[in-house]
Amino acid sequence: AQSVTQPDIHITVSEGASLELRCNYSYGATPYLFWYVQSPGQGLQLLLKYFSGDTLVQGIKGFEAEFKRSQSSFNLRKPSVHWSDAAEYFCAVGLPGTYKYIFGTGTRLKVLA
């Protein structure tokens, strides 16, 4: 069955430190991959997406993600975290040939001043 795993429920980093949020998916082929961010009590905003081509994709707010087919992973990174990055981050896959998306359980990021 298709699934998305975000193994880290909570992550705490200091402001200015680097960040990596992990995402692994289970699917028979390469799905469409997304990272979204959700501020408390709000909807989700797209950070970046991957469909094909260059496996390193750039997004908004200084985020990037790398697709690794061999590891079925799509990890999100940021070289220097800002306090305003504190939020919940969701990895999602879109299933080709359908209208459906599957979301991971999310990683809540806390940023220490």
Partner 1 sequence: SQTIHQWPATLVQPVGSPLSLECTVEGTSNPNLYWYRQAAGRGLQLLFYSVGIGQISSEVPQNLSASRPQDRQFILSSKKLLLSDSGFYLCAWSVGVGPYNEQFFGPGTRLTVL
Strand partners of residue 26: 3
What is the DSSP annotation of the chain?
A: --EEE---SEEEEETTS-EEE--EEE-SS--EEEEEEE-TTS-EEEEEEE-SS-SEEE-GGG-EEEEEGGGTEEEEEESS--GGG-EEEEEEEE-TTSS-EEE---EEEEEE-
Selected binder of partner 1 within 42, 55, 71, 84 (CB under 8 A): 42
Q: Does 70 bind partner 1 (CB under 8 A)?
A: no
- Selected binder of partner 1 within 28, 29, 54, 98 (CB under 8 A): 98
Q: Is 101 in the site for partner 1 (CB under 8 A)?
A: yes
| The one segment of 11-19, 57-65, 67-75, 89-97 that binds partner 1 by CB under 8 A | 89-97
The only residue of 51, 68, 79, 83 in contact with partner 1, by rule CB under 8 A: 51
| Distance (Å, whole) CA 73 – CA 94 | 14
100 binds partner 1 (CB under 8 A): yes
Q: Does 99 bind partner 1 (CB under 8 A)?
A: yes
Interface residues toward partner 1, by CB under 8 A:
4, 6, 9, 32, 34, 36, 41-46, 49, 51, 90, 92, 94-106
